[in-house]
Structure 1
Amino acid sequence: MSTGIGKTPFFRLLLPLTAGIVVCYYLPEFSLISKYLTGATGLILILFSLFVKKEYRFKFRWLFGAGLFLFIFSLSQLQYQQQEQHAQFSFSENEQYYLGTITDIPETKPRTIAYNVKINNPSEKKVILYIQQSEQAWELEPGDEIVFSARIQPFKNFDDAGDFDYPRYMKIKGYSGSAYIPETAWRKTGRSSFSITSASQKFRVKALDFYKSFEPDKDAYAFISALTLGYKEDLTDSMQEAFRVSGTAHVLAVSGLHVGIIYIVINMLFSFLGKQGSTYVIRQLLIIVVLWFYVFVAGMSASIFRAAIMLTINCTAKIFNRRGFTYNTLAAAAFFILIYRPFSLFDVSFQMSFGAVFAILFFQPKLNVLYTPTCKVVKYIYNLFTVSLSAQLGVFPLVLFYFGTFPTYFFITNLFVVPLVGLIIYALVPLIILNLFSSFNIWLIDFLNTVFHWIVKTFVETTFHIVYIAETLPFAQISDINITVVQLILLVFFIFISGYWLFTRRSRSLLAALSTFLLLLLTFTYSLIIK
């Protein structure tokens, strides 16, 4: 796999895009001037390059590239500021009346129900309303329109939040503020506004009810709902803590891992359409359609969207006889996501998703060369092992930086849990299909239903056992780890340059790895001294 910049054109576009977003975030005053100056300069250079005489075009070929760089740099700043303005809210000292629409499945609090609401009037903003629990409040559904009186307030940091910046986190998510709504301060208008998001959430509720028809125990239902639909409301605190300490909490949120497994299942289902000709094009188009249907059912969260965009670009590339997953398709996915939502660059899940996929592209092909199993079952297990190991190498520095904890056994637990998650999802697919035909009362369907029920139950229980054992092991988690941005960058560089040296044995790579390791030691020593 070539990693040259010449073969990754979207990487060239991604550089000015991310640079503009970073400038806007850290140097907002500078961006007020630079967005217009760089945009105008970029357009002039692009126009000038188009009118250069033929004999001078090669000499001045850099003009178009430089102009495009500056133009995208400017465009990203304009898009960032537009999104920032959309999230800003004019907070009033007094209560005001608002018209809003419920956009998501609610989250239950001790005395309230938390609803995500899009304010329609006086201006479109996203807020979180904590509505006092009542019979009427429980009846609200995604898409319902309500009128309410409230004093919407900006988000504040929690007393025990530590270094976590909650207002910044909510700003990145696109929310403007929150408010408490007493039982008497709101009512339904009787109207229901249609949107793709609200329709998705309603379908998600039906999917959750469908899972209940399997009659699983409470923990299994909560785990499967989180695993496939990203619904965490029924997860107990002890379960979440166990997954967090064992380093497997990522499986409880639908992400690229889950969507990737769904993609493999869909690809297998349509494998009868072959690998060439018009039927192959139909196969890729059907994969895209079914994949986005899953995104719709799973609630259309940002993490699912990211994975679906990556896989859609992958399928599109295959339609045009291009290679599937490459660094260029990854850069293309990041480019389209950031041009639409620049705030995503600072979203932890965005960084971890792309860090994991980049590490898989970098490490897995090299790990697969080391050992080539002849048995299909062993090959499948080894591939899951290399994917899991590669992804963990990619997200490990980010886990240390953002969460300040190190799950000691997370490499080991993930090597077991990730394949089990894949097997659970694989077993759920035929179980869902069989349940659709359960009303026919055919003994074979009932028998297969029982078999797959047992398989899913066994895999879920095995996953729980591994997680709970890892949680109870001595030194299961190291806490209070603080690394700086510089140390994060050095650690990422050290992991990838060390991996590159291990597979190529080039002396320059070894020298770069040792130099980076020495710099890391110096920065950690300096941090200890100033403390």
Structure 2
Amino acid sequence: MQSLKYGGYHNDMNALRGKIPFFYLLLPVVAGILTASQVHAFSCFFWIGLAGIGAMLLAIVFSSFNPYPFRWLFGAGTMLFLFFIATVSCRLWEEHTEFSFPPEQTTYMGYVSDIPQEKPKSMACNIAVSVPVRKNVVLYLQKNAEARSLSPGEEIVFSCTMQPFRNLGNPDDFDYVRYMQINGFSGSSYIPETHWKKTGRQKQGIAVLAQHIRLDILGFYRSLELSPDAYAFISALTLGYKALLTDDLQEAFRVSGTAHVLAVSGLHVGIIYIIFNLFFSFLGTSGRKYRMRQWAVIAMLWLYVFVTGLPMPVVRAGVMLTIYCVGKICRRKGFNYNTLAATAFLMLIVHPSGLFDVGFQMSFASVFAILFFQPKLNALFPVENRFKRSVRNLATISLAAQLGIFPLVLYYFGTFPTYFFLANLVIVPLTTLITYAVFPLIPLFFCLQWHIPFFDRLFTVCTRIVQALIDGTLQSVYWVESLPLSQLSGVHISFVQVFCLYVFILMITSFFIRPRARSAFIALSAALIFLLSRYMM
């Protein structure tokens, strides 16, 4: 009986391994990025790559005689080679972002890669430099009419002495230098109005087109004559454009535990997917037209990803939904954990520094937690009524996501929103309704040119509905912020404590689902180590 028990256990584990192959491919990529960030001797990585290729070749040669005993050799070679690829990708990214500009004043040429942001005394512009080096920099142009008129894609020539990014000096402060490097920027400079000019040339491409679409949508929102806070909120909610958000508004969302709605994420991309999937539903559900429908949805999804500025959570959601759509084209249903691992694998190969990005970590932690915890939480509260089931699902998604990210929130920010659960039950449905309500306004806006009274009234009604929903959302957020003990602050934890918290959460959940002494022992051990480390701090 005991052997049957362990045999069944191993069969289950083998079945699980077969469903998550990308998880095992992801491990050497993560290990390679972590190693390359600490060890800069590239020659040793080169030999590891050669060893991986050699092992795969040997496995192929030996498999012609007896394939079974040498399967592990091909797997080991693949792991070593992926480790090498990750180190190469990490090194190339470091070279792209390192500060390697001439120490003297130099003339550069580049184009505006994002929407310029107006500061008190300057216009902040992200510039993709092409001559004499290929780097991304931030320029602060002296404010004048010419600087205000800059738009994405315009090429400029400028002369300056480039400066590296600097932190404020306090070791506990935000690491601004690392943040800019993760986002691909190498330096910055202030440019007087006499030291730059437009060349008259315009950069073409999907990224520039997406930023112009973003500008047009911002102009459309401005035409709705919303209040300043409402305009800033809807710009952040649907486009990821946060330049208009006031400090008070951002703090209110942070304290209430709903700051995630201000950053375009998987929730928003999921809504966009539903809208475009319905829009192209006339193409049918089978055959060639169905495949066209899925490719059209993928194209529109990635246009939206570019419009939002390619933040990590949106890219993650875009990749996951692309894999999902390709699976539907192939008539296959992907295993959720494998889809998540495949998404992380592809993103880290292209953008290795994303591993150290807070948004990347929280995005994947929250999705993993939803996949892992939500089915178990739903099983604890079975509901037959459709409306009650929707409320239950919303509550369990919110709780599962918070279980996944709250150790990271304590680690990076030292704060925890006390009323996050209740706030999300209200704010998430409201923001979903706002996103759905905004889309009918766009075709109605174009119908206004026909001067038909019906469309005029309908547009006015829809605008007032959007304004009312936004006002209700903002008032709810400010009310939660005003509650006593709305946020626990000053609760900083170490990396070891983050690990202990995650182990405790996973093991205690496993214990309640399937009571085992081993799960309880590991959970209690993790809790003890956490408490001892807190006492020793």
Corresponding residue to 2:186 among 176, 183, 206:
176
Distance, in Å, in 2 between the alignment partners of 1:94 and 1:132 is 20
Q: 2:82 aligns with which of 65, 72, 76?
A: 72
Is 2:406 the partner of 1:396? yes
Residue 140 of structure 2 aligns with which residue?
130
In 2, Cα distance between equivalents of 1:371 and 1:441: 53
Q: Which amino acid aligns with 1:9?
A: P
Question: Does the 8 A contact of 2:122 with 2:143 survive in 1?
Answer: yes
The one of 99, 103, 116 aligned to 1:89: 99
Shift of 1:147: 1.1
**Residues 450 and 502 of structure 1: is their aligned pair in 2 closer, same or farther, counting only changes over 3 Å?**
farther
CA deviation after TM superposition for structure 1 residue 254, in Å: 1.2
2-structure distance, mates of 1:509, 1:442: 68
Partner of 1:339: 349
Q: Deviations over 1:450-490 (max 9, x none)?
A: 34323322221121112111111122222222211111111
Q: Distance in 1 between matches of 2:138 and 2:77?
A: 42
**Which of 512, 521, 524 is equivalent to 1:511?**
521
CA contact (8 A) 2:111 2:128 kept: yes
* Stretch moving more, 236-245 or 10-19: 236-245
Q: How far off its partner does 1:526 sit?
A: 1.7
Q: Quick one: which amino acid aligns to residue 142 of structure 2? A: Q
**Residue correspondence of structure 1 range 472-491 to structure 2 within 5 A:** 472-491=482-501
Give the Cα separation in 2 of the matches to 1:495 and 1:392: 11
Map of 1:201 onto structure 2:
211
- Residue 324 of structure 1: how far off its partner (Å): 4.5
Aligned to 2:238: 228
Question: Matches of 1:337 and 1:427 in 2, distance apart?
Answer: 32
Corresponding position: 1:263 with 2:273: yes
SS of residue in 1 equivalent to 2:185: coil
Aligned to 2:9: none
Confirm or deny: 8 A CA contact 1:35 1:75 kept in the other structure.
no
Larger deviation: 133-142 or 234-243? 234-243
Q: 1:102 aligns with which of 94, 112, 119?
A: 112
Change (3 A) 1:288 1:380: farther
- What one-letter code is carried by the residue in structure 1 that aligns with 2:275? V
Whole-Å Cα distance in 2 between the matches of residues 504 and 225 of structure 1? 46
* Residue 386 of structure 1 pairs with residue 396 of structure 2: yes
Q: 1:291 aligns with which of 301, 305, 314?
A: 301
> What is the 5 A alignment of 1:340-355?
340-355=350-365
Deviation by residue 1:168-209 (Cα, 9 ceiling, x = unmatched): 111111110110111111111111222322222111101111
Cα distance per residue 1:228-281 (max 9 Å; x no partner): 001112212211121122222221121222112222333344456665555543
Summarize the Cα distance change of 1:85–1:195 in structure 2 as closer, same or farther, 3 Å threshold: same
CA contact (8 A) 1:288 1:315 kept: yes
- Residue in 1 that maps onto 2:40: 28
Equivalents in 1 of 2:379, 2:269: separation in Å?
26
Deviates more, 1:75-84 or 1:191-200: 191-200
CA contact (8 A) 1:36 1:74 kept: yes
Which 10-residue stretch deviates more, 271-280 or 105-114? 271-280
**Unpaired runs of 5+ in structure 1?**
none
C-alpha distance in structure 2 between counterparts of 1:381 and 1:15, whole Å: 37
Letter of the 1:216 counterpart:
L
How much has 1:161 moved relative to structure 2?
A: 7.5
In the TM superposition, residue 521 of structure 1 has moved relative to its aligned partner by 1.2
Tell me the distance in 1 between the aligned counterparts of 2:183 and 2:38. Answer: 18
**Helix, strand or coil: the match of 2:69?**
coil
Aligned in 2, Cα 1:386/1:442: closer, same or farther, shift over 3 Å?
A: farther
Post-superposition CA distance 1:95-148 (Å, at most 9, x none):
111111111111222111110001111110000001111111111111111111
SS of the equivalent of 1:61 reads: helix
Q: Which amino acid counterpart does residue 335 of structure 1 have in structure 2?
A: F
Superposed, 1:243-262 pairs within 5 Å as 243-262=253-272
Residue pair 1:99, 1:120 contacting (<8 A) in 2 also: yes
Is 1:452 aligned to 2:462, yes or no?
Answer: yes
Work out the percentage of aligned pairs sharing the same amino acid: 50
Residues 54 and 193 of structure 1: CA distance in aligned 2, closer, same or farther (over 3 Å): closer
How many residues are aligned here? 525
- Report if aligned partners of 1:364, 1:387 keep a CA contact under 8 Å in 2: yes
> C-alpha distance in 2, partners of 1:271/1:146?
44
Pick closer, same or farther for the CA change 1:268–1:190 going to 2, 3 Å.
Answer: closer
8 Å CA contact 2:507–2:522 kept in 1: the answer is: yes
2:206 corresponds to which letter in structure 1?
I
Q: C-alpha offsets along residues 29-74 of structure 1, whole Å, 9 cap, x if unaligned?
A: 4xx2331121011111100001115453211210000000000001
Tell me, in whole angstroms, the C-alpha distance in 2 between the residues paired with 1:421 and 1:295.
19
Question: Does the CA contact (< 8 Å) of 1:91 and 1:154 recur in 2?
Answer: no
Shift in Å, 1:398: 1.0
TM-score under structure 1 normalisation?
Answer: 0.93
Which piece of structure 1 moves more, 343-352 or 233-242? 233-242
- Further displaced range: 309-318 or 425-434: 425-434
> Does structure 1 residue 466 correspond to structure 2 residue 476?
yes
Alpha-carbon RMSD: 2.1
Residues 112 and 132, structure 1, Cα contact 8 Å, conserved in 2: yes
Change (3 A) 1:452 1:509: farther
Residues of 2 paired with 1:515 and 1:267: CA distance? 48
Residues of 1 paired with 2:150 and 2:253: CA distance? Answer: 32
The answer to whether the Cα contact below 8 Å between 1:373 and 1:379 also exists between their aligned partners in 2 is yes
Q: Does 1:6 align with 2:18?
A: yes
Q: State the alpha-carbon separation in 1 of the partners of residues 534 and 196 from structure 2.
A: 54
Distance in structure 2 (CA, Å) of the matches to 1:445 and 1:363: 46
Q: 1:440 to 1:484 in 2, by over 3 A?
A: same
- Contact 1:106/1:116 (<8 A) preserved: yes
Pairing 1:356-395 to 2, within 5 Å after superposition:
356-395=366-405
Structure 2 gap ranges (5+): 1-11
- TM-score when scaled to structure 2? 0.92
Q: CA deviation at 1:518?
A: 1.6
Q: Give the deviation of 1:493 after TM superposition.
A: 1.9
